[in-house]
Structure 1
Amino acid sequence: MTLPANYRCPRCGARSSVSALTWCCPGCQGPWDLDFRAAPVPLAALPGRTGSLWRYEEALPLADPGCSLGEGRTPLVRLTDTVSAKLDFLMPTLSFKDRGAVMLAELARRLGPRRVIADSSGNAGTAMAAYCARAGLHCTVYVPEGTSAKKLEQIRAHGARLTVVPGDREAAARAAREAAGEPGTFYASHVHNPFFLHGTKTYVYELWEDLGGRLPDTLVLPVGNGTLLLGAALATAELHAHGLIPSRPALIAVQAEAVAPLAEAFRAGAGELIAPAQARPTLAEGIAIPNPPRARQILRAVRESGGTFLTVTEDRIRAAQLDLAARGLFVESTGVACWAAVRARPQAGSTVVPLCGAGAKTGLAPA
């Protein structure tokens, strides 16, 4: 078994072997980063490779997967003269979370834990349930009450044990963290484990390939826990460091106006959260995270890219979902947040937005 050597804490510098089942820094309880240096991906060699995200093997900390479902390589379609959408809802479990979930499941498959646990508001849980089933791993998923019934059905269908936790998204996370300390448990945290980010970064590698070795001027990305945005920041940094792009695109982070602690901190010029947000109902439930553990990293990544934060109202989310449906794209309400933001505030130059989850998972947003 070949694995990268260490997890590294970006706050205090502590380290842990990847082979250990440590899900966070034991000193400060913060999320891990990974000691991994990506090699340049040869653009000219890509056409003959596998048609999944594993085609970017030089950039990935794991190779030769045993639990792939063919994830990745989602279409890029034009919405306007300057805005294109990447259809990441066309994944095996119908959301972009497959990009990171396959990395966590592959890591768990190689480590051989007694069980895998995950927590989620829905999409990450369905993805982990599917990939653990593919890998032959026992999986338990903790979700908050109020999670979409269709997502619960999907988790159960994959054979995972489902634990519905009274309360909000943070209550589900607390329950999972408590269970993570049991011997032989691999906590497949899409927030704390950096392998997930090295999966989501393939979103940008695909754009780079499909656009002939370049990237758009602006990447607009939804932010709750920030896993897609931080993956995008990893990829743009790697491509720029290897001389494969001349400059890095601006990262525009989108939050629901109802739960926007990162947008508030950014506008105040803070390097971390001013205070956790109040948990309020929002149609963009997948990004309604009051206290994201990687807040410092998210704020720094947006600032370093020259980007900013945008927020969207519930009315704009509803309107964006209907607008996309009228264009032939049925996307869940969280997944339309970036299009809602761009419709309200168009960006200069070429722009790409992700459509992150299928509308079949939740239905139309109520009026």
Structure 2
Amino acid sequence: MLNPMTAYVCPRCHVRTPTSALTWCCPKCRGPWDLDFAGGPVPLPSLASRVNSLWRYAEALPPMPCAPEVTLGEGRTPLVPLTDSVSAKLDFLMPTLSFKDRGAVMLAAHALRLARSGGLERIVADSSGNAGTAVAAYGARAGLDTVVYVPAGTSPKKLDQIRAHGARVVEVPGDREATAGAARAAADEPGTFYASHVYNPYFTHGTKTYVYELWEELGGRLPDTIVVPVGNGTLLLGAALALDELHRHGLTDTRPALVAVQAAAVSPLAAAFHAGADDLAAPAAALPTLAEGIAITAPPLARRILRAVRDTGGTFLTVTDDLIRAAQRDLAARGLFVEPTAAACWAAVGAAPPRPGLTVLPLCGAGAKTGLAP
């Protein structure tokens, strides 16, 4: 049975709909949903005896009856020092080799619940690679018919991974925005669940476990700064959600600064932030960059991302492809082979003035997915 107390809600229009509906966006403004869900406090002392995955934070997660059938053991990734004041969380050690597993497992568990209640025939997703591979894997685990829309020119290694999980791949001519448009058109078809890491808030409730793990790993405290790569902003918004929850429940009295990193070639959010804007004035140009995973010209969640960074006293940083290339090689020399997008945060930390206290950044996609940047 679906939980009747959980609903989608539009933060702008206040439209509500049950989570049993396949309506993937607000019918009034076509904006992304929020989830009307308030979890409870996670008791730190009890965690040592719990399952070694993100599901250990059950009090903070929406009800997921199908989770035991869908999980691949995602979460609980290592925190490794890079310097005396900077540590990296190795989210590229997830089952599909990226942090997107945190949200994809939530989408797949919810979709399986919908399929069993009747009316769901397929799931669709759009991605530059990592979200697509994650949705494909968890869709396969759930036994769901899965279609993934990707931009033409997506890494062949990522396409191989998606197809290996049995998902159908639709390559869309044009940029990432054209791909999203094609997937959204498909999502309007009857019987289709849009497993979107942008429009569906279940994904964000999965990515928030990144910060819950930091809080547990550091003994009930948080780092001073959390640096996050931002394209569509799902990891940053998950982090902001966790910070709010931990503070609201009295589990921490600190609020780290969220520092968002974008590629210099495609940085609409950074430009808006430094101009003092609350939203994007216009999409950015779709210029080529090594950090393809964050090359989003018009993020639908822009307003929420900008507010989250400002609310924590954070900022936006941008990095060139030359800095990303050097950072990827530097991390590899330290034993950590990640894709260029994942190296962007390390590039930004190295180029910016040091911040006081402990800084944590994610290494959120494996280099095996893309190879070494030329």
TM-score range for the pair, normalised by the shorter chain length: over 0.9
- The answer on whether the counterparts of 1:57 and 1:63 sit within 8 Å (CA) in structure 2 is no
Q: 1:221 aligns with which of 228, 239, 249?
A: 228
Q: Cα deviation per residue 1:49-93 (whole Å; 9 max; x = unaligned)?
A: 001100000000033412000000000000000000000000000
SS at structure 1 position matched to 2:193: strand
* Structure 1: distance between partners of 2:43 and 2:372: 42
SS at structure 2 position matched to 1:89: helix
SS at structure 1 position matched to 2:70: coil
* Structure 2: distance between partners of 1:207 and 1:33: 24
SS at structure 1 position matched to 2:134: helix
* Structure 2: distance between partners of 1:5 and 1:363: 42
* Structure 1: distance between partners of 2:157 and 2:180: 20
Alignment partner, residue 248 of structure 2: 241
Instruction: Please tell me the residue identity of whatever aligns with 1:164.
Output: E
Is there any run of 5+ residues in structure 1 with no aligned partner, and where? none
Q: Cα deviation per residue 1:100-133 (whole Å; 9 max; x = unaligned)?
A: 0000000000000100000000000000000000
Alignment partner, residue 104 of structure 1: 107
Give the alignment's TM-score, normalised by structure 2: 0.97
Is there any run of 5+ residues in structure 2 with no aligned partner, and where? none
Instruction: Figure out how many residues of one structure are paired with residues of the other and give that number.
Output: 366
- The answer on whether the counterparts of 1:223 and 1:287 sit within 8 Å (CA) in structure 2 is yes
Q: CA deviation at 1:349?
A: 1.3
- The answer on whether the counterparts of 2:64 and 2:109 sit within 8 Å (CA) in structure 1 is no
Alignment partner, residue 76 of structure 2: 73
Q: CA deviation at 1:224?
A: 0.2
* Structure 1: distance between partners of 2:63 and 2:343: 31
Q: 1:280 aligns with which of 273, 287, 290?
A: 287
* Structure 1: distance between partners of 2:326 and 2:78: 23
- The answer on whether the counterparts of 2:268 and 2:284 sit within 8 Å (CA) in structure 1 is yes
Alignment partner, residue 61 of structure 1: 62
* Structure 2: distance between partners of 1:115 and 1:257: 37
Q: Cα deviation per residue 1:277-311 (whole Å; 9 max; x = unaligned)?
A: 00000000000000000000000000000000000
Alignment partner, residue 94 of structure 2: 91
Q: 1:127 aligns with which of 129, 134, 152?
A: 134
Alignment partner, residue 342 of structure 2: 335
Q: Cα deviation per residue 1:215-253 (whole Å; 9 max; x = unaligned)?
A: 000000010000000000000000001111112100000
Instruction: Please tell me the residue identity of whatever aligns with 1:228.
Output: L
RMSD, aligned α-carbons: 0.7
Q: CA deviation at 1:2?
A: 3.6
- The answer on whether the counterparts of 2:106 and 2:206 sit within 8 Å (CA) in structure 1 is yes
Q: CA deviation at 1:11?
A: 1.0
Q: CA deviation at 1:318?
A: 0.4
Q: CA deviation at 1:347?
A: 2.0
SS at structure 2 position matched to 1:56: helix
Instruction: Please tell me the residue identity of whatever aligns with 1:78.
Output: P
* Structure 2: distance between partners of 1:170 and 1:63: 31
Q: 2:360 aligns with which of 336, 352, 355?
A: 352
* Structure 2: distance between partners of 1:274 and 1:309: 17
Instruction: Please tell me the residue identity of whatever aligns with 2:313.
Output: G
User: 2:268 matched to 1:268?
Assistant: no
- The answer on whether the counterparts of 1:52 and 1:72 sit within 8 Å (CA) in structure 2 is yes
Alignment partner, residue 175 of structure 2: 168
Identity of aligned residues (%): 74
